[in-house]
């Protein structure tokens, strides 16, 4: 029997040509975890202003909630979106369906189970206490397994393509998959205390442990938060603009310079520590050289839009992506500065670092994600966005929120750094620790407002997308019903022997 779907959309409909079921699921879960993560983030911002918000409940304290926030954002929001975008882009650019039968779905369910297990155990205090690698060994092991399956699905899909060279976006996704796998495994070489308990310890100790930890931490930023999102930029930005990418060869240079330079840069997170001097100077040099990929990406993206700036003014979805790219350039410039020892001595251990991290994650990662999701959802559900006006509103709220959030923390962080180092005329520290800290309530307040605004923007987006999806499904159900009715009538007539 002819499937109703084929009749409704025709054999060439993207619905049939591509396998979107799992892409849709990943997209939705990315939004769910992203929203949750931002709610937790705003709550944490509140705790910094009113410490009593912890209510003496262990799982509500700052120490437990903070890793919950980063896990939700890094693995929940970014991770799910990586899967959604890479599986979508691989199919579209290779003109093939997703490979693997039940495997894509198992990646989806595996990933969500990992997240739930991880978040619950973190809330209960079961954690390695290593940044971005809080999951204890059973969950970490499970994660590696699911990650390898997801890599296999991705590579097998790419191998089905007919055209020879791989579109550059796929290179970036591939680097993300492989790079994350390598780094995660090295960071999580763990010795379980016993086979039936959660607790485990890393074989590294002391400064080596710190180095491994930050090499991994830096790689999460490079591979998951840069590479994956650059991959999205390289596909979705030209797509949304309806213009060809500016320069293929520049994107190749972008890719290779980023891969070669970035894996060396990690020691810049450990300036002025017990790390041997040579590692630090190496890290500094390669961090400075990271200007190269950063400039390449920004130029390539923005030049793609040159001649089409009107579109950026009229299409808020494209504007999300373009502005994200500007934030990418800005954040990497800051990063280069922060790796320099002298500047680092001022900003390290202050809230500047948190400001910088959020400039990158709100400005670059989130803005790019919003653009991508606004582009994806209508295509995945074969419909139009419910309201472009709401997208426009979301854009301006988000932009304002980012500027407020960043300015508050970075200005506050610099003041904090200045106070931490200030000497009186007899060479004593001019401020007590409390005095370097207490005044931060004001920047923390502004940052809280910024976070709240950003969150409300996301709420608007989720509402907009939810209505879009529900309407699309209703429409589709109506069409399906009409076709089913027609088929039934036809069948009835055939049985009755009518012509």
- Contact residues for other proteins (CB under 8 A)? 92-95, 163, 165, 167-169, 235, 238-239, 244-253, 256-257, 260-261, 264, 272, 277-278, 280-282, 284-286, 288-289, 291-292, 295-296, 299, 303, 424-435
- Closest contact distance (angstroms) between CB of 298 and other proteins is 10
- Closest contact distance (angstroms) between CB of 250 and other proteins is 5
Give 216: exposed, middle or buried? Use CB within 10 Å, 0-12, 13-18, 19+: buried
Cα–Cα separations (whole angstroms), residue 118 to 110, 125, 142? 12, 10, 11
Cα–Cα separations (whole angstroms), residue 89 to 12, 45, 279, 425, 465? 18, 36, 38, 62, 20
- Closest contact distance (angstroms) between CB of 480 and other proteins is 27
Minimum CB distance to other proteins smaller for 103 or for 246: 246
- Closest contact distance (angstroms) between CB of 483 and other proteins is 28
As beta bridge partners, residue 192 has 200
Minimum CB distance to other proteins smaller for 43 or for 167: 167
- Closest contact distance (angstroms) between CB of 376 and other proteins is 14
Whole-angstrom distance, CA of residue 107 vs CA of residue 484:
33
Q: Which of 373, 363, 375, 365 is nearest to 399 (CA)?
A: 363
- Closest contact distance (angstroms) between CB of 89 and other proteins is 9
- Closest contact distance (angstroms) between CB of 430 and other proteins is 6
Minimum CB distance to other proteins smaller for 107 or for 168: 168
- Closest contact distance (angstroms) between CB of 92 and other proteins is 5
CB 342 within 8 A of CB 261: no
Minimum CB distance to other proteins smaller for 199 or for 379: 379
Whole-angstrom distance, CA of residue 26 vs CA of residue 42:
24
Whole-angstrom distance, CA of residue 352 vs CA of residue 338:
10
Minimum CB distance to other proteins smaller for 59 or for 435: 435
Minimum CB distance to other proteins smaller for 167 or for 374: 167
- Closest contact distance (angstroms) between CB of 23 and other proteins is 15
Contacts of 46 (CB under 8 A, 6+ apart): 53, 448
Minimum CB distance to other proteins smaller for 10 or for 14: 14
Question: Helix, strand or coil for residue 191?
Answer: strand
Minimum CB distance to other proteins smaller for 188 or for 416: 416
Minimum CB distance to other proteins smaller for 28 or for 376: 376
Torsion-angle region of residue 206: left (phi > 0), alpha (psi -120 to 50) or beta? left
Contacts of 200 (CB under 8 A, 6+ apart): 128, 136, 137, 190, 191, 192, 193
Minimum CB distance to other proteins smaller for 130 or for 218: 218
Whole-angstrom distance, CA of residue 428 vs CA of residue 381:
65
Cβ count near 30 (within 10 Å): 24
- Closest contact distance (angstroms) between CB of 161 and other proteins is 8
Contacts of 385 (CB under 8 A, 6+ apart): 374, 377, 378, 391, 464, 468
Whole-angstrom distance, CA of residue 422 vs CA of residue 450:
29
Whole-angstrom distance, CA of residue 381 vs CA of residue 287:
42
């Amino acid at each position: 029997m002819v499937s109703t779907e084929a009749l409704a959309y025709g054999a060439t409909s993207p619905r049939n040509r591509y396998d979107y079921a799992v892409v849709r699921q990943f997209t939705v879960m990315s939004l769910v975890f992203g929203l949750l993560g931002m709610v937790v983030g705003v709550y944490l911002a509140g705790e910094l202003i009113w410490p009593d918000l912890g209510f003496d409940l262990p799982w509500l304290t700052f120490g437990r909630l903070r890793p919950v926030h980063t896990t939700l954002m890094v693995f929940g929001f970014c991770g799910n979106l990586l899967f959604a975008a890479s599986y979508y882009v691989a199919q579209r650019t290779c003109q093939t369906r997703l490979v693997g039968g039940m495997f894509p779905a198992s990646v989806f369910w595996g990933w969500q189970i990992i997240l739930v297990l991880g978040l619950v155990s973190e809330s209960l205090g079961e954690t390695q206490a290593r940044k971005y690698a809080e999951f204890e060994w059973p969950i970490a092991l499970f994660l590696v397994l699911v990650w390898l399956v997801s890599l296999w699905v991705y590579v097998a899909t790419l191998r089905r393509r007919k055209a020879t060279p791989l579109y550059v976006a796929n290179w970036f996704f591939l680097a993300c998959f492989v790079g994350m796998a390598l780094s995660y495994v090295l960071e999580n070489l763990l010795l379980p205390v016993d086979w039936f308990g959660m607790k485990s310890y890393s074989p590294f100790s002391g400064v080596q442990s710190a180095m491994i930890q930050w090499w991994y931490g830096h790689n999460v930023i490079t591979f998951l938060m840069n590479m994956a999102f650059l991959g999205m930029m390289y596909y979705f930005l030209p797509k949304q603009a309806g213009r060809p990418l500016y320069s293929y060869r520049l994107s190749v240079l972008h890719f290779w310079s980023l891969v070669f330079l970035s894996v060396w840069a990690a020691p810049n997170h450990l300036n002025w520590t017990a790390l041997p001097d040579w590692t630090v100077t190496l890290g500094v040099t390669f961090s400075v050289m990271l200007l190269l990929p950063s400039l390449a990406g920004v130029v390539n993206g923005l030049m793609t839009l040159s001649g089409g700036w009107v579109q950026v003014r009229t299409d808020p979805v494209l504007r999300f992506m373009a502005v994200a790219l500007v934030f990418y350039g800005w954040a990497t410039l800051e990063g280069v500065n922060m790796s320099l020892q002298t500047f680092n001595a001022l900003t390290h251990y202050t809230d500047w670092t948190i400001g910088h991290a959020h400039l990158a994650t709100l400005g670059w990662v989130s803005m790019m994600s919003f653009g991508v999701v606004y582009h994806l959802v209508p295509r995945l559900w074969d419909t139009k966005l419910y309201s472009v006006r709401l997208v426009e509103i979301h854009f301006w709220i988000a932009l304002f929120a980012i500027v407020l959030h960043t300015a508050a923390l970075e200005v506050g962080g610099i003041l904090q750094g200045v106070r931490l180092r200030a000497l009186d005329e007899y060479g004593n520290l001019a401020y007590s620790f409390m005095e370097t800290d207490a005044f931060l309530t004001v920047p923390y307040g502004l940052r809280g407002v910024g976070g709240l605004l950003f969150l409300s923007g996301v709420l608007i987006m989720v509402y907009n997308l939810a209505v879009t999806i529900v309407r699309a499904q209703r429409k589709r159900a109506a069409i399906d019903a009409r076709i089913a009715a027609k088929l039934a009538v036809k069948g009835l007539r055939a049985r009755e022997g009518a012509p």
